Amino acid sequence: MAGLLTLEQKLQHFRKEYFYRSNQAEENRKRENQAATLIQSWFRGCLERAYLSHLHKKAIIIQKIWRGFTARARVRQMVKAAYFIMKMNFYEEMAVRIQQRWRGFFARKHIHSFYARKSYMEGILKKNESVRNELDEICDLQKKERESLKMIQEQTAKVYQAHRLHYLLSTEQCPGVFNSPFRQAPHEMELLLRQVKHSAPNRMVPKSRVSFLGIPGPAAHGFSATTESPWMKSTRICSFRPALPPIASKNYQVMVVKATTKSLDLED
């Protein structure tokens, strides 16, 4: 009996305990369930995550390898292209150099030679100088000619004067105008007078008609002496002077008028 009582007590205790525990368990069920869910979900999550990360890593590896592959291909292509471009640039530069040199050579040789132009300019300057010198020489020559002509004219004029002024020659008794006793030596005119032989003055023949010794007389106006003065050497005159017939006065006047007309016309 005691045992039964204890058993019953234990049974009741057991029932109470069972009821209490199942109560407790019932109360904890939800919480435990949730906890279990949480744990399981967390664990599953971990599994998934581990799986995902595994997948990620593998995917990364694959992508890495792929990308490396394509990049290397691209780089190879780029290198090829860059190399090609470098080569082309090089060729171009060399071609430019060749063309520069060629064009320079060609232009210098055939189109326009700088040195030819330079020597041309120098040649022109030299030619200018030489032409200047020549012209100066010619000018001097012509001046000398003119001066000598003038001197001859002056000389013939003086001789003509001497012919006309022969009466001023000094004589034994009476010294002439040009031979003053107060001078050391006689004047040049005096000497000229002594040299020149007197000739009687010719009748005034208009110069435009004179053809003396075959020299055509220049159309002179007035009676000034010229280079072809017929009074140069009186001896020649004496031998050649024919007695010309007297010219009729009326015609002479007309001729003088004509001669003066002609001279006036020339001076117009």
Partner 1 sequence: MSQRQIIQVFEQYQKSRMSFVQTISDLATRSQNIEILHNAGVMALLRPLLLDVVPGVQQTAALALGRLADSSDSLAEAVVKENILPDVVQSVTSHNRFHKKAAAFVLRAVAKHSPELSQAVVDCGGVDALVQCLMEFDPGVKEAAAWALGCVARHNATLSQTVVNAGAVPVLVLCLLEPEMALKRIAASTLSDICKHTPELAHAVVDAGAIPHLAQLILSRDTKLKRQVFSALSQIAKHSASLSEMVAEVGVFPAAMTCLKDPDEYVRKNVTTLMREMVKQTAELSQLVVNCGGLGAVIDYLGDCSGSLRLPGIMMLGYVASHSESLAMAVILSKGVSQLAVCLSEEPEDHIKAATVWSIGQIGQHTPDHAKAVAMANLLPKLLKLYMDASSSEDLQAKSKKALKSILQKCTHLPALEPLLYDAPSKILKHVMCQFSKVLPHDSKARRLFVTSGGLKKVQEIQAEPGSVLQEHINAINSCFPEEIVRYYSPGYSEVLLERLENYQPA
Binding site for partner 1 (CB under 8 A): 117, 120-121, 124-125, 127-132, 134-136, 138-139, 142-143, 219, 250, 254, 257-258, 261-262, 264-266
First to last CA, the chain: 196
Q: How far is the CB of 226 from partner 1 (least distance, A)?
A: 14
Q: How far is the CB of 153 from partner 1 (least distance, A)?
A: 15
Q: How many angstroms separate the CA atoms of 102 and 21, rounded?
A: 113
Let me know: does 208 contact 219? Beta carbons within 8 Å. yes
Q: How far is the CB of 109 from partner 1 (least distance, A)?
A: 18
User: What is the distance, to the nearest Å, from the Cα of residue 238 to the centroid of all Cα atoms in its chain?
Assistant: 75
Q: Given the complex with partner 1, which of 47 and 131 has the nearer CB atom?
A: 131
Q: How far is the CB of 158 from partner 1 (least distance, A)?
A: 25
Q: Given the complex with partner 1, which of 199 and 263 has the nearer CB atom?
A: 263
CB atoms within 10 A of CB 150: 10
Q: Given the complex with partner 1, which of 18 and 252 has the nearer CB atom?
A: 252
Task: With CA atoms as reference, report the closest residue to 231 among 209, 204, 208, 251.
Answer: 204
Q: How far is the CB of 148 from partner 1 (least distance, A)?
A: 13
Q: How far is the CB of 112 from partner 1 (least distance, A)?
A: 9
CA gyration radius, the chain: 74
Q: Given the complex with partner 1, which of 41 and 260 has the nearer CB atom?
A: 260
Q: How far is the CB of 72 from partner 1 (least distance, A)?
A: 47
Q: Given the complex with partner 1, which of 170 and 263 has the nearer CB atom?
A: 263
Q: Given the complex with partner 1, which of 140 and 188 has the nearer CB atom?
A: 140
Q: Which residues pair with 215 in a beta bridge?
A: 212
Residues 194, 197, 200, CA angle at the centre, nearest 5°? 130
Determine which helix (DSSP H) or strand (DSSP E) holds 212, and give its type and residue range: strand 211-212
Q: Given the complex with partner 1, which of 35 and 107 has the nearer CB atom?
A: 107
Q: Dihedral, CA atoms, 48, 52, 54, 60, nearest 10 degrees?
A: 180
DSSP tally for the chain: helices H, then strands E: 5, 2
Let me know: does 160 contact 196? Beta carbons within 8 Å. no
